[in-house]
Structure 1
Amino acid sequence: MTTLTKKELKKMEEYYYWSGYKDWHPFPKELKAEIMSVYGEEPFPHTWTEQDIWEGSRKMIINYFDNKSN
């Protein structure tokens, strides 16, 4: 079973910061809550892989900040 933890979410924030998205750091509380609500628990009977979590989170993060700038 793979789920997203607060520690992993912190790693994602650091990854985006060091990748050049310094104005995205720290993530807003509502974005963190949205990501954790989706990936913080296993969707029984399905399972997440690490790749599912990182890719899905990446899409949510980019979508969030793209919509914020418009």
Structure 2
Amino acid sequence: MLKKKAIVDKNYCVACGACAKVCPLGIINIEQGVFAKVNLDKCVGCSKCAKTCPASVIEIQKIEVN
């Protein structure tokens, strides 16, 4: 089954935390102070993080989930 999920390009993430602040589920964390990590098991693909990201490194993609 395909579901929408937020995918972060961690190579270009500036770890500002803007996405984590707007996530309604609180499932985005800044890992090692370097990049944002989304808990894909809980992400509902609402796109609030992608719209807020100042570096435009978050995309909402359809990915296969069990």
Instruction: Give the TM-score, by structure 2 length.
Output: 0.32
Q: Which has the higher contact order (CA 8 A, sep 6+)?
A: 2
Instruction: Give the TM-score, by structure 1 length.
Output: 0.31
Structure with the bigger percentage of helix = 1
Look at both structures and tell me which one has the larger radius of gyration over its CA atoms.
1
Structure with the bigger percentage of strand = 2
